[in-house]
Structure 1
């Protein structure tokens, strides 16, 4: 059965974008509505490839002087410029930024040393960039841009905890950042800003157990955080934020047979799409039965031979997924929705 999607759209065919990719890709939408995707390439180099104006793909760009060890985190600020945060082989947190909107990227800057994992980034309610990452002691660390001076960052501060995978931050409908993490004993925890744009966070709250991979946090059409993770039974699971943005409902299974972590993004009609790599290494997707609903359809195959799929919506809110091919080839692959 075909994957349920917005009426008037359909999924296209897999496109091979070549490259040599050693971690999850990180796509971002530039100010001129072209998608650019960043990857860790051979010899720990940071590479990117961007769409042209006609939506075909340009050549790979090597961001020289930016050695990366893991998955980069690309994000566009309210000023329209893209920034890419990443962990170096020497466990430094570094960032490169566009020198102008849609422009080239400048030299790397070091924001922290002795970090213990890959960074993840999100915009706060006032547009400041917040970066979360695992410290060398296993705690969740946090830095953010100073006011709206995007190229100046606060010293990293510890939010405590004992995290075991890359955090997943997202801004909820109340204007507060929520960070989902995999903690000790395969437990899912969340930590939330006390108030909008606050520097203080509430304590960690346990949300689920049996979490076997990095969780994925996104917001639904109502601004509620939805967290997806792989359970110890090999299925995809979801836990959703309550309407008042204060707590979370009990986790529920979406079933499926999942390798790695589920990922998710809202489609054009507001329904969340959940993507997984199945045990057959194909891409599978399940979609909310209705906008802001609690029920999901069954997983349906979109074929391919993939690792973790990473989705992003373009300026038309058509979904694209990027993934590393399964096996030893390490090429980047792309699948997109099209107008029917």
Structure 2
């Protein structure tokens, strides 16, 4: 499919009670949940265990704000400080561990982490990035960060367990933040919105593939989650400002399907177990909105 066609009957207007019929294959999707807050960029989310969610956003003060689901209720908001441009990025590589990244006002990559008892300070990782970053982890103490450089290409920096490596260029030309996920050791899948507004995909399986055109017409950076080996769920904002979904089922790419809503910026998504996905967006009211598949 080469374009996302606005389907009026599929929209859910945040702040209204209008809920339309679900699209095909969406019987497992919840409605939209309003989690409040005031967001000024796209969101990100990580999970370190079953039924745990940590969501990070840029607030009205340009600081990073954090809200979390502890398995029974939503907690927060708490400020993690800093001053960032665009969306943050977060990943968890083990219980009680979160690594958080953002683009500073100096256009450097900045890093802060939770070690189970406290948050570190902010660490300057340099570079010159021109959109919000993305991060993935394929094992304990491994981090792969991706960002758009001044040349519009995707650039990669990684933590190998003892030191930061990089930067290296992965080429391409993207118009917003990339998205990344790891579904197994030595595997990374990255996605971006190309200058043609198509979804583009590249992967690492011991060496980097070329770029693959997955079509669609997306109007902000995508997000991606994975609930098991060889499973990918990609979400993006369409021309109708709704959330659109395309997935790799291990054999072929499926979709696109509309999940409705009207939102700003880029979405965030995570999977914490088989057949579970949590997606977050900034609504037109600048609140954090949540939808899940189970």
TM > 0.5 fold call: yes
Structure number with bigger Rg: 1
Match of 1:214 among 217, 221, 224: 221
Separation in structure 2 between the aligned mates of residue 138 and residue 321 of structure 1, nearest angstrom: 27
Question: TM-score when scaled to structure 1?
Answer: 0.65
Change in 2 beyond 3 A, CA 1:223/1:127: farther
Partner of 1:265: none
Pairing 1:91-102 to 2, within 5 Å after superposition? 91-98=107-114, 100-101=115-116
Residue 73 of structure 2 corresponds to residue 60 of structure 1? no
Flag structure 1 segments of 5+ consecutive residues without an equivalent: 257-274, 282-305
Question: What secondary structure, in the 3-state scheme, does the structure 2 residue paired with 1:202 have?
Answer: coil
Question: What secondary structure, in the 3-state scheme, does the structure 1 residue paired with 2:61 have?
Answer: helix
Flag structure 2 segments of 5+ consecutive residues without an equivalent: 1-20
Separation in structure 2 between the aligned mates of residue 224 and residue 14 of structure 1, nearest angstrom: 25
Q: CA deviation at 1:58?
A: 3.1
Partner of 2:208: 201
Partner of 1:158: 169
Q: CA deviation at 1:203?
A: 2.9
Contact 1:173 1:224 (C-alpha < 8 Å) held by counterparts = no
Residue 70 of structure 2 corresponds to residue 47 of structure 1? no
Residue 30 of structure 2 corresponds to residue 14 of structure 1? no
Separation in structure 1 between the aligned mates of residue 187 and residue 196 of structure 2, nearest angstrom: 27
Partner of 2:85: 69
Question: What secondary structure, in the 3-state scheme, does the structure 2 residue paired with 1:105 have?
Answer: coil
Separation in structure 2 between the aligned mates of residue 14 and residue 241 of structure 1, nearest angstrom: 27
Residue deviations 1:287-335 (CA, integer Å, cap 9, x gap): xxxxxxxxxxxxxxxxxxx5465444557976544333323xx233445
Change in 2 beyond 3 A, CA 1:111/1:253: same
Q: CA deviation at 1:143?
A: 0.8
Question: What secondary structure, in the 3-state scheme, does the structure 1 residue paired with 2:86 have?
Answer: coil
Separation in structure 1 between the aligned mates of residue 205 and residue 69 of structure 2, nearest angstrom: 39
Does 227-236 or 158-167 show the bigger shift? 227-236
Contact 1:12 1:337 (C-alpha < 8 Å) held by counterparts = no
Separation in structure 1 between the aligned mates of residue 134 and residue 56 of structure 2, nearest angstrom: 14
Residue 55 of structure 2 corresponds to residue 37 of structure 1? yes
Partner of 1:331: 287
Higher normalized contact order (CA 8 Å, seq sep 6+, divided by chain length): 2
Question: TM-score when scaled to structure 2?
Answer: 0.74
Partner of 1:137: 151
Q: CA deviation at 1:92?
A: 1.0
Separation in structure 2 between the aligned mates of residue 13 and residue 177 of structure 1, nearest angstrom: 29
Contact 1:116 1:137 (C-alpha < 8 Å) held by counterparts = no
Residue 199 of structure 2 corresponds to residue 188 of structure 1? yes
Question: What secondary structure, in the 3-state scheme, does the structure 2 residue paired with 1:115 have?
Answer: coil
Q: CA deviation at 1:202?
A: 2.9
Match of 1:4 among 18, 27, 44: 27
Separation in structure 1 between the aligned mates of residue 225 and residue 173 of structure 2, nearest angstrom: 22
